[in-house]
Structure 1
Amino acid sequence: MELRQLRYFLAVAEHLHFTEAAAHLGIAQPPLSQQILKLEREIGTALFVRHPRRVELTEAGHLLRDSARRILDDAQQALVEAQNAGRGETGRLSLGFAGSTVFHPAVASTMQQFRQTYERVAISCEESNSVALLEKVSARQIDAALVRMPLNCGELAVEPLVDEAMLAVLPGGHRLSRRRRIDLADLAGDPLIIFPRAIGPNLYDSIISACHAAGFTPSISMESPQISSAANLVSAGFGVAVVPASMRQVQVEGVSHHELKGKPLATGIALVHRQRERSPAVLNFVRILRQQRAAMRRA
């Protein structure tokens, strides 16, 4: 039994006339009659009582009509669901976030646009440090991750989202707290709070290298568990810190943020995913991210 035969059968069952059913289907009447006869032979019983000008359903025909409608409806629904999944309009997407990335407006706008466009995709989120997230993407434990750059991503594909400057964070009452812009060299005598190198070795090294270029070797007083927690330690009086500009979004009392003069010290946020990715949901997220990046560049 073929779905085509069921469609032909339903057309005849609804019109109760072979010629009218054939016209509705857009086929000639003889092939329609042949398919109905073939179906009846396969089932082993008549589905219609033939009269000179019309037909009527047998008891078996009535039963098959109801079942055929359900079968064709289910087949159509299965087709639509498969098409939606193939376009990434349904399904699941597991995303990782480096803790410091969630404060940047570009990340929020990308997530919002994706959810609005693909509202039937279930998103699961996981927060960790950038290095751990790279390992999870490579091991297929998550689909993709938004990480803090610079970062050695190995063989993973990298989609940059946004770049941002690094700012100095000073405690209240610091001698430089009234200046909008300061030289990194002005912080040579201050203890530095920085995140552990293991969670972002490239960014860590770029901060230390910038200090060396400014003429001093920083005295590291304490390591913050995450980039996002550095301002809290500054507020507690443990030293000064250098953080991404979006960390201003974290409202911490007793600290001030300052632009750095001279050669820019910058970081970035990027999406990493596996090369030759086939997941429609991941590819759609990449497309939305590219649209957001282009929109920011035009602004």
Structure 2
Amino acid sequence: MSAQHPLVRVEVHDATTASLLLKLNSGAVDLAVLTTPTNDPEVVATALFTEDRILATTAGHSLFGRTRITLADLDGIELIVEPPGRPFREQLDALFAERDYTLAVKAEVDGTRLMASLAFEGFGAAILPASAVSARSDLGWHTAPVEGLPGRAVGLATRRQALLSAPARALADVLRDVVSSRGERQPGIHPASPQRLSPD
């Protein structure tokens, strides 16, 4: 971004989708990369990518090194998960209940980055979106896709009634270009078809 647009200052806010929606609606940020759909009538989002849900484990865990994980494999396995009330946790609870599996909760954590950190430090296994982990296998952890779990859609959101400035449109284009050109290098990331945010 700085090479193409040296006068544009970019400020990054790392937060949950709910927090980002508040910042977006208040005008504190112009754009947000967040989980979609937003279910917010004041926000419009265009697709960036979809991503698989993966299981992250460290050496010594019973599922470490597996290349394929099913929901049956997770029956009774202690997991680091999102707290109740979060959309993915509700899906997870429903999928386990439908199959009469036990969702064994080791910890409930609100925040993907913290969940990933706990898993990578060996606290326990965590189900994470693919974008939350490095594909490098030399870092002491292992990841594998979890079959039977819904993926996560990620989009670029703006306020419905706000006109984006030229710098904000430029940033949106750079984000789309990065996802389009590099997204498939990350296992479990599936870039959306390139789109541009129109100035009107």
Q: TM-score, normalised by structure 2?
A: 0.74
1:271-286 aligned within 5 A = 271-280=156-165, 281-286=167-172
Larger Rg: 1
Aligned position for 2:131:
246
Matched, 1:212 2:100: no
Greater RCO (Cα-Cα under 8 Å, separation 6 or more): 2
**Amino acid in the other structure paired with 1:269:** V
Asked whether the 8 Å contact 1:152–1:202 carries over to 2, the reply is no
Aligned position for 1:184:
71
Structure 2 residues not aligned, in runs of 5+: 182-190, 195-200
Q: 3-state SS of the aligned residue for 2:3?
A: helix
Q: CA deviation at 1:165?
A: 0.5
Q: Tell me, in whole angstroms, the C-alpha distance in 2 between the residues paired with 1:236 and 1:248.
A: 13
Structure 1's 202 and 297: CA in aligned 2 closer, same or farther, altered over 3 A?
A: closer
Deviations 1:254-297 (A, max 9, x none): 53211223x35311321111013323233333344455566556
Asked whether the 8 Å contact 1:193–1:224 carries over to 2, the reply is yes
Matched, 1:168 2:59: no
Higher share of residues assigned helix: 1
1:1-299 aligned within 5 A = 112=1, 115-149=2-36, 151-197=38-84, 201-235=86-120, 237-249=122-134, 254-261=140-147, 263-280=148-165, 281-291=167-177, 296=191
Q: Tell me, in whole angstroms, the C-alpha distance in 2 between the residues paired with 1:231 and 1:178.
A: 17
Q: Tell me, in whole angstroms, the C-alpha distance in 2 between the residues paired with 1:172 and 1:140.
A: 45
Asked whether the 8 Å contact 1:192–1:241 carries over to 2, the reply is yes
Asked whether the 8 Å contact 2:51–2:130 carries over to 1, the reply is yes
CA RMSD in angstroms comes to: 3.0
Structure 1's 297 and 276: CA in aligned 2 closer, same or farther, altered over 3 A?
A: same
Structure 1's 142 and 211: CA in aligned 2 closer, same or farther, altered over 3 A?
A: same
**Amino acid in the other structure paired with 2:96:** C
Asked whether the 8 Å contact 1:156–1:273 carries over to 2, the reply is yes
Equivalenced residue count is 183
